[in-house]
Every structure is written in C-alpha cells, then in structure tokens.
Amino acid sequence: MWWFYRKGPSGFSGASTAEEVTAGVDGSGLVAVITGASNGIGLETARVLALRGVHVVMPVRNVAAGFAVRESIVAKIPGARIGVLEMDLSSMASVRRFASEFESLNLPLNILINNAGVMTRNCTCSCDGLELHFATNHIGHFLLTNLLLENMKRTSRDSGTEGRIVNVTSSGHVMTYPEGIRFDKIHDPSGLNDFIAYGQSKLANILHAYELSRIFKEKGVNISANSVHPGVISTNLFSSTCKDSNQIISVVAFAIDLYSASVLDRDTVACFLALHPQVNGLSGKFFDKCNIAKPSSKASDPELAKKLCQFSLHLVSS
C-alpha cells in the first residue's frame, strides 16, 4: 500500500483528506452546485466546501434527506450556507425545473461538481426512454451543465475568477466496449450488462469534461473542466447495487468495504479541484489522488468526445 501514501507532484497522496487539501483556502463569496450531496462523497464535499466558506446548493432527489444533511452540516459549522432544491438526474424535465429554480435565486455560480451516480443491477430505462446509467450519470449532468453554463460564464467574467466544472467519474480505464460507447444501446439497453452500462456512463463523464475543455479553450472562456477518480471508497452506491445480488458481486462489495477508506478519510480530489489555487489554468485533465493521471485511450479520444457531446446535445434538444 506504499503507493497510496506516496505524494505526487501536487504534494498530496491518496491518504490526504479533503480538509488537508483545502487548508488555508478561503471560499467566501463562491457558490457551488453539488449533485449527489445527500450522502457519501457528495455529502463530504458539501461539508468541506461549506467549511471553507462556499455557499453550497444541493440538488437532491430526496428533499427530506437533503434538509437533514443541511441541518447536520449547519450543526457542525454554524453560519454554513446550504441550499436544498429538488432534482432527479434521470429526468430531463426535473433537471430543467432545478435549473430554472436555481436561476430564480439570482445567485452567481463558480463551481459545478457533477458527482451523483447510480449503479443498478438491471439495465432498465429512464422516464425519458434512455438506458438508466447513461441517463442519470451522463445525460442528466450534461443537461445540467448546459443549462447552468451561461451563469458560470457571466460569473467568471464579472468576478475575474476561473469557473470550475468537476466531473466525478471512475477509473480512467473503465470496462466498456472496445469502441468505447455503444450509442445504439442508449435507447435499447438489451444486451448490456450492469458493469458495461455503468462503465459506459463513466467513460462519458470523462469525455464530457474533455470536450468541454476543448470548447472553452477555443472560445476563450475562463472555465476549467476536469474529471476525477475519487478512489476506491465504500459508499451506498455499492451497497445498494449489491443488495440481494449474486455471490460474485457480493464478494466484490465485501472486498471494497474491507479495503477501501471511509468517505470521511478519503473524499479529496473533488474538493482539491474545486478550490485549490494549484489547479488554476488546468483543464481537460483526469485526476487521481489529487494528481494528473492518464486515462485510457478511449477516455482521451477527441473524436469520440466530440461525437458523444453532439449525440448528447441531440438527445436533450429532442
């Protein structure tokens, strides 16, 4: 496990905590939207950003759970600014409602952390007729980003501060098809298995950030877009997936619980990319353990990234 503790060029390692990598950073005046903040990695990201003075807005599917999280953070951090709004990432209509409600708050937007994710045991379809992993993990975040982008551009122009988009994904070597993404399986998930479908959606997260970065650089927009692998962390993503599942998946879940660090000890990279000044000017990168890492060739394929975003734009515009 020596590699886990070895510090990279950033000065941090896999053993660094979110509070350590944001120590001394003043986030006062910044506003962040964090998806999936009612539990797991997103919850800890919201807590640490609030600790640094950031005004956090949490779009959550379960509003009651969101308010419970808000109260727990405020109890520990008096004066923390936490907003809760309803949003179901698997529904494009719900994402649009959230974006409209957020805009009505007249808040600027400096940071967008696309963190929420789903991993199911059955490749079912969303209410919009899309394969559920792809709909939730990618399309929901793709649409949300598009709807909030003008606010982020305006905020970066008015404040002179770089806007930051962080896509929380998986390993840069996700298990998927040889060609990367099967676009013909987005509307027809038959023939997909759970891990291929999940891997396909996570690959899409990396490609999305990659293409956003290219567009921002081309247009001179002062916003960065990066993707991060949060590390092997035991969260309810795995526990909910593996409940009543087969023996092999149950063994994998047990191994993750046994060897992975707790969220409180390990949620690091999203906070690092959201706040640390060391990241200024870095965009289109894939981060692991707070350091730039190399994803698979498919995850950095510019043509696949462009094709994915054109395809996604068509889906959300239909």
**Burial of 263 (C-beta count, 10 Å sphere; 0-12/13-18/19+):** buried
Q: How far is CA 36 from the centre of its chain?
A: 8
Neighbours of 261 (CB within 10 A): 17
CB 18 within 8 A of CB 25: no
- The CA distance from 184 to 197, in Å, is 12
Pairing label, strands 31-34, 55-60:
parallel
Helices (H), ranges, 189-268: 194-219, 236-242, 247-259, 263-266
Answer yes or no: 259 catalytic: no
- CA 75 → CA 60, 70, 79, 260, distances in Å? 20, 9, 9, 28
Q: Identify the active-site residue in 5, 177, 198, 259.
A: 198
Neighbours of 154 (CB within 10 A): 13
Q: Which residues are catalytic?
A: 198
